[in-house]
Amino acid sequence: MPRRRFGTFSGGINLPAEKDATLDAAIAPWPVQELRIPLCPLPAAQAQPVVAPGDKVKPGQLLARTDDPQQVNVYAPLAGVVGDFTDVLVPDDFFGWRSSRAIVLKDLQPASQPNRPDFDWEHADAAELLERLREGHLLLCSGPFDNVSRWLESAIESAADTLICNVMENAPLVTADHRLLAERGGDVVRGLAILAKALSVAHTMLAVDSQRTGAYRSAARLAGALKIDTIALAPKYPIEAQAMLTQVLTRRQVVPGRSTLSVRVAMVDAATCAAAYQWAALGLRQTHRVVTMAGRGVKSPGNYLIPFGTDAAWLLAQACESEPPLRVHGSPMNGRELAVGAVVGPRTNALLGMEDSYAGPPTPCIRCGWCSDNCPARLNVAALNDDFELAHLDGAKARCVTACVGCGICTYLCPARLPLMSRCQQLRQMILREAKAATP
């Protein structure tokens, strides 16, 4: 794997990895008894069911269809019998969680989808690949975009010339993408090649943690054969943030409040690349997610292949020998507290048991400056906290809160236990919503 010198970014911290319990554990299945599959996986018009209670369904079968280009069709992860309809919670950037109607699937059978290699992706041109990916109704597993097809359209409109697969994953405890690249690197790299060909980009990179390159040798060899650069970088947190990784790899500064497409860089994660390959080459629907389960109270830490629609709280409770003080969906640095009714979906890279570091109420800011000193976006976080408490949106705008990458370092370091990241992200979302509403 070539080692080249790249720049770095200001701020950031070196975090304890705390990954030993799951780093080398192979991805394993986890038995589930019932699924509740959201009909509204994206915040757009609900997909309409094409099955009724009592129907038997096969893995990969269509459950609900949509004509809305913002939404995606819904497919069965496993064979089973359709039950009643219910409500579930799915992640939402603004509110934390959002309600969605869902199809219950019970009497589950462990059968998997049959391969249908009916599309020759290696000889397809960009337009054929884009059409094939559009038919896949795929979802992005990280980043500001949700719908793969819409993201590809936006990347083409932005004339993206660089595609980066981000496998930095340097938040503590989480190893889902690491295991995916180590065990199923062929799927990830071929998926990245398919997306690169669909976008017709000039340069494609696979960015990995320099401490784990030994596990990625076969993936890096295949990447080289497919003209993809594998780049190993030191894991200063939050290099996994899209704006930081773009800056380090391309020296381009992402416009605050915009995605990396503002500087012609398209960024994707390992799980989305694997899903793109499995659909485009093998005809397999995206119905599962590799989820890290680890942390306080988890008796069998590891990475598990979990079908979409699995009750996340039930799953974590199954894995825990005692109730952890805090249950987290996603990264321990910037994930959200697990809510009752939440289900596993494409964005569920981890379910963690944690200590509650906010035990006790927040106290007033003591102006120690730790938050601002380490903020990778170089924000005056204490002043932004004042803006939040005083509902001073113009102040937050002037202080460029839209550059916040939501890394959580400020919250992690604050001795006053102030929920700084959440406050900065709320200010950021309010300003972006205001700007969107003002756009004709």
Site residues (CB under 6 A) for ligand SF4?
A: 365-371, 375-377, 379, 381-382, 385, 404-410, 413-416, 418, 420-421, 424
Nearer Cβ to ligand SF4 (117/415): 415
What is the Cα–Cα distance from 20 to 114, expressed in whole angstroms? 35
- 139 bridge partner residues: 147
Sheet containing strand 48-49, strands side by side: 48-49, 62-65, 74-75
Cβ at position 239, least distance to ligand SF4 in Å: 13
CB of 238 to ligand SF4, least distance (A): 7
Q: Closest separation between CB of residue 401 and ligand SF4, Å?
A: 8
- The backbone torsions φ and ψ at residue 429, rounded to the nearest 5 degrees and listed phi first, read -65, -40
Instruction: Please identify, using beta-carbon distances, which residue of 133 and 371 lies nearer to ligand SF4.
Output: 371
- Of 248, 250, 253, nearest to 235 (Cα)? 248
Question: In whole angstroms, how close is the CB of 237 to ligand SF4 at the nearest point?
Answer: 10
Which residues on adjacent β-strands are paired with residue 289? 306
- Pick between residue 319 and residue 382 the one whose CB is nearest to ligand SF4: 382
Element holding 434 (H helix, E strand): helix 420-438
Task: Please state the closest distance from residue 282 (CB atom) to ligand SF4, in A.
Answer: 39
Residue labelled with tokens 């035990």? 359
Comparison of 204 and 372: residue with beta carbon closer to ligand SF4: 372
Distance CA 93, CA 146 (A): 11
**C-beta closer to ligand SF4: residue 203 or 252:** 252
**Least CB distance to ligand SF4 at residue 337 (A):** 16
Interacting residues of 198 by C-beta distance below 8 A, sequence separation 6+: 126, 129, 130, 133, 152
Q: What does the alpha-carbon distance between residue 101 and residue 45 come to, in Å, rounded to a whole number?
A: 11
Q: How far is the CB of 417 from ligand SF4 (least distance, A)?
A: 8
Q: Give dist(CA 322, CA 79) in Å, integer.
A: 32
Which of 233/405 has CB closer to ligand SF4? 405
CA dist 34 and 440 (Å) reads: 45
CB of 335 to ligand SF4, least distance (A): 13
User: Among candidates 397, 403, 395, which has minimal Cα distance to 379?
Assistant: 403
Output 123 or 367, the one with its CB closest to ligand SF4: 367
Q: How many CB atoms lie within 10 A of CB 354?
A: 19
* Cross-strand partners of 165: 206, 268
Q: What are phi and psi of 55, to 5 degrees?
A: -65, 140
Q: Which is nearer to ligand SF4, 163 or 377 (CB)?
A: 377
